[in-house]
Structure 1
Amino acid sequence: MKLATYLDGSRDGQLVVVSRDLSQAHFANGIATRLQQVLDDWAFMAPQLEELSISLNHGRCRHAFAFNPAQCMAPLPRAYGWTVPEDGGRRASDALLGPHAPLRLLADPVPCAARYAVLHGDVPRGIDALSARDAIRLLLLAAESPTHTAFAPVAVSPDELGAAWQNGRVMLPVLAMHNGRREGGTDKPEPGADFGRLLSDLAHPRALRAGSLVGATTAVLVPAMAAGDAVRFEVKDEAGHSIFGAIEQDVVLEGTATE
């Protein structure tokens, strides 16, 4: 299934289920209004959301509407934590942006790194890597600069990746466009970190609670962005279909007005 969070004037937004082809969406408020509620009660709520997802993908939802990524916040706008174990450890979880929010810089140029991330359920202390994979709930695509972290509009369950999800790893390249030109990356990416191993290592000294984000190492890097630039990150399957939707950001200096 694919989930997103729509802007509604609140800090946590409104949970929606999104069709596999990212064309349609349906509010999930009959099941849950926020993604954190689902993470807290996954065993009960996830099957209901999966049923709604199946109905949506088969065109059986009367109240479906056209999905609009520009209306999306980060899938989990207020995560309890944001950790990249292989790239500096824990960091603040505020300033988690949606896919089309402007990337505001204090100075330029600065780099921007795209990476995969997971949202997990409760992870007990001392868990092994194989068991920790079972705690992975959703996969996300993030783009991180020194001042902000933005997320692609849709978080997906691992089964949505099919054979591209192998041994706790995402086996697809991240496509980066900087001012309309391909930036770095490869069509055959090196296997990234096993998210099960990352969760196991994090849970070695203490248990982890549901609602935290864990990121992998950089999948692709845009080394220098300046005001006036535009950046886009996206992941596509072998058939060319977008998995998470795209992160599309205009780069502006802090204090610059935007529409």
Structure 2
Amino acid sequence: MKLASIDNKTRDGQLVVVNKELTKAVKVPEIAATMQFAIDNWKETEAKLQHVYENLNADKIPDTFDFSSARVLAPIPRAYHWADGSAYVTHVELVRKARNSELPESFWTDPLMYMGASDAFIGATDDIMIENEEWGIDFESEVAVITDDVPAGTNPEDALHHIKLITIINDVSLRNLIPNELSKQFGFYQSKPWTSFAPVVVTPDELDGDWTNGKLHLPLYSTLNGKCIGSPNAGIDMTFDFGQLIAHASKTRSLMAGTVIGSGTVANQGSLNGSSCLAEVRCLEIIKDGKASTPFMRFGDRIEIEMKDRNGNSIFGKINQVVKEYKK
């Protein structure tokens, strides 16, 4: 099943069911007005939404609209909880190597995770509004999941059953603000502006055999100004699967329905399939040439992020954003 939220002049948007080809959609206010309501009441709404999805794909619903004609918001425009992991330790290892810093052994057994701003997420075609290019604007292509209620102390195996929806995201980073923030030893804040989401979220069954053991085994494509920066497989070199990430997040407290958990920047060892962020590209240049030559993003740059199934069809729709100057 595929779901999205479209603009209806409210903060939480209008929940819609989208067909498999991402061409048609239907509103379902009688089932759930918003994504948050749907996930809050998943035991009651899932089967009803699935029924609509099946009828939509069978062309049995007359009251549909062209999905591409709607202004699509983030599937869940704001959430109670957003936590981003760093599940691809090979990426962290590379970054550390570029600055001649040793990787702590614990990074391979204990996930890195930070809590991000979830009061507003932005849609797949919304501009990335940044005030200053000198802040080091970077994209980060990731996989993300949305959970139902997760009890505190949930183990990794049980945590997988709490994953209800899956998507891809662009977790924008301002790289040149990060060192000062981390030097305070209190985490990210200013260096993490709003996170962007693909147009739709999908249920795990929609991914067939490509979703196994809490990992999505497909390439994630990142294209900057028409040039493919990378297409690493999200299921390879993922040190911590989503069950482990959710278990980590829920170790000492429950997670509420609608919690979003990110994978961190998708990366494959040795970056053989390219990179999912410019920071990694620059690290590879530093290791090879002693200095970085690729600049961070500038105003006017376009970043596209997409994942396709084995037949070449877009699963979540495309993130397609332009970086623009924010003026007060």
Inter-CA distance 152–140: structure 2 relative to 1 (3 Å threshold)? same
**2:253 pairs with 1:206:** yes
Q: Any idea what SS the aligned residue of 1:68 has?
A: helix
Partner of 1:221: 277
Q: Quick one: distance in 2 between partners of 1:4 and 1:174?
A: 20
Q: Which amino acid aligns with 2:277?
A: L
Unaligned runs of at least 5 residues, structure 2: 87-111, 174-192, 267-275, 280-295
Partner of 1:28: 28
Q: Any idea what SS the aligned residue of 2:199 has?
A: coil
Partner of 2:290: none
- Asked whether the equivalents of residues 176 and 222 of structure 1 are also in contact (C-alpha less than 8 Å), the reply is no
Higher helix residue share: 2
Q: Quick one: distance in 1 between partners of 2:234 and 2:152?
A: 35
Q: Quick one: distance in 1 between partners of 2:21 and 2:278?
A: 27
Inter-CA distance 188–76: structure 2 relative to 1 (3 Å threshold)? closer
Q: Quick one: distance in 2 between partners of 1:13 and 1:175?
A: 28
Partner of 1:2: 2
Runs of 4+ more than 4 Å apart:
none
Structure 2 matches for 1:35-184, cutoff 5 A? 35-68=35-68, 71-86=71-86, 88-108=113-133, 109-146=136-173, 147-184=193-230
Matched pairs, number? 256
Q: Quick one: distance in 1 between partners of 2:79 and 2:36?
A: 8
Deviates more, 1:49-58 or 1:209-218: 209-218
TM-score by structure 2 length?
0.75
Q: Quick one: distance in 1 between partners of 2:113 and 2:157?
A: 24
Q: Any idea what SS the aligned residue of 2:164 has?
A: strand
Q: Any idea what SS the aligned residue of 2:145 has?
A: strand
- Asked whether the equivalents of residues 97 and 151 of structure 1 are also in contact (C-alpha less than 8 Å), the reply is yes
Partner of 2:287: none
- Asked whether the equivalents of residues 70 and 100 of structure 1 are also in contact (C-alpha less than 8 Å), the reply is no
Q: Which amino acid aligns with 1:110?
A: I
Q: Which amino acid aligns with 1:208?
A: L
Unaligned runs of at least 5 residues, structure 1: none
Higher strand residue share: 1
Q: Quick one: distance in 1 between partners of 2:68 and 2:28?
A: 16
Q: Which has the larger radius of gyration?
A: 2
Deviates more, 1:72-81 or 1:62-71: 62-71
Q: Which amino acid aligns with 1:205?
A: T
Q: Quick one: distance in 2 between partners of 1:197 and 1:231?
A: 30
